[in-house]
Structures are given as structure tokens and as C-alpha cells.
Amino acid sequence: MHNHNNGLKTAMLFGGIWAILLALGWFVASYTGNSIFLWVFALIGVGTTAYSYWNSDKLAIRAMHAYPVTEAEQPAMYRIVRELSERAGQPMPSLFVSPTAAPNAFATGRNPQHAAVCCTEGILHLLNERELRGVLGHELMHVYNRDILTGSVAAAIAGVISTVGQMLSFGMMFGGGNRDDRGGGGALAGLAMAILAPIAATVIQFAISRTREYDADEDGATLTGDPLALASALRKLEVGVAQAPLEPTRQVANASHMMIANPFRAADVQRMFSTHPPMDQRIARLEAMASGQQRY
């Protein structure tokens, strides 16, 4: 849907995160003197990618304890999503509501045929219908651009790299490996790899997430034809999330990259590193888009 080069940028970032995983496998294979670890790490990456592909429509739904709703229960959601789906020439996704006062929304699903859109009770009370339309347009574009699959796979591989990094660090501290390579230089290199690889993977994951958020803002505003509605919704969400943040549990943290606004307190975001671009920059870009200035 978008006319910029972020698809290529995302592909390059994915290449980087895969390269880190394979580099870890190569290092472990060299350290232990057993090349099977390179294949093991490659298979882990493939398995993680496949699992994330088939389960990307369930992660956030479970984390947020969301339940399906009927048209009689949420007529505005159904009316808006049906209109925008028809405008985009895409199938109607399933609709869910999460029973939390924290204002947020997210889409899940590996493709438009297996998609769901969810709003929290908090966002339904916070936004007017025009603003809700802007938010739902944003979420639908995440589905149409395959962003949920992209983000889920990136998060899964980054998680594998972090786990392996922790295991490698533990092994370096308590022994093991090919003793011929266990001089001071090898140990330091291994410790550096164990520390830096998870950091690099996380940075790449965040870059992917931020890129997809900007795309969904622009493409969602194009779909609705109303960039200022989404800008107004984002302003309210920034205040609303600050007043009613979610607890940064592991499940919610793993699903937070799918949400339209980072659901945590500012202090929690600093600890966990935000996967979302700054809200003021997103709003400024939408306002520039509405005024006919150069698009991002």
C-alpha cells in the first residue's frame, strides 16, 4: 500500500537479525569444536519462524484476555471495520474486545484471511467515532501490510538470540567448550558475543517495529482519508496510557509491539525499551500529511 522503501528496509533488518542468530551458531560451533551447532541454530531459527507464522493471530489475544464480540454488542466497530475492509477490497476480520481500562488497540493474524482486530474497553470509552475510525484504519493496514507476522517473527527470533546469549554467557563463566580455544582472548570474545548479540537483535527488532508503525499511520490515514482523526486519537492515547498503563508482564510485553500505543508507564518503557516511535513525531507526520506537505 505504501510508496516508500520501508519494505526493503524491513527485509534488510530481517537479514541482520538472522545473521546474528547464525553468527551465534558459528561461534558456539567453533568454541565447542562441533559444527552441528551451526545447523542447530539455523533449525531453531526456521522452527521459530514457522511457529510464529502459524500462531501470530493468538499471541496478543491471549495476552489481553480478549473476547469476540458480535455486531449487536459493538455496532460502531463493525460498521467502521466493514466499511474500511470493503474500501480496501479485503475480507472482514474477526473483532474482539479486551476487558481492560487501558486504552489501546491491536490487530493480529498472519494474513487478511486469518486476522482479528481488538480494541480495549478503555479505548472504546476514550475516543469518539471519528477517532476510532482512524485507529481501526491503522490496525487494518497492519494486517494488509503483513506487519503482525513481521513483528511476531522478529520478536521470536530476538527472544531466541537473547536466550542463547544468556546460555553462552553462563557457559563462558562456568567452563565448557573446546579447551584449545579457551585462552583469554577466546573467553573475552565469547563473553562479548553473549552480551552484544542480544542487544543487537533487540535494536533491530525495535527498528522493524518503528518502521511498521510509521507505515501503518500513513497507510491507515490514506485508507480513511482523514489523517487528523488518527492524530487526534494518538494525542488522547498518549494521555490515556499515562493514566491507565498496563503492567509489563511477560505476555503483554511480548505482544506490546502489536499495539497502536506503547501500553506501559514511561519508567517501564525505559526499562524495557519502547518498540514504538515517539508519539509527537507520529502526530507531526500525520498533520504534515493532512496539510499536503511532503509525505514520509
Judged by DSSP in three states, 34 sits in coil
Q: How far apart are CA 154 and CA 16, in angstroms?
A: 11
Count of all residues that appear for the chain in the document? 296
Helix, coil or strand: residue 116? strand
Please check whether residue 49 is in contact with residue 104, taking contact to mean a CB–CB distance below 8 angstroms: no
**What's the N-to-C CA distance of the chain in angstroms?**
14
Pairing of strands 116-120, 105-108: antiparallel
**Residues contacting residue 170 through CB under 8 Å, at least 6 positions apart:** none
Q: Which residues are catalytic?
A: 139
Measure the CA angle with vertex 263, ends 158 and 160; round to 5°: 10
Encoded amino acid at 230, one letter: L
Residue 144 contacts residue 85 (beta carbons within 8 Å) = no
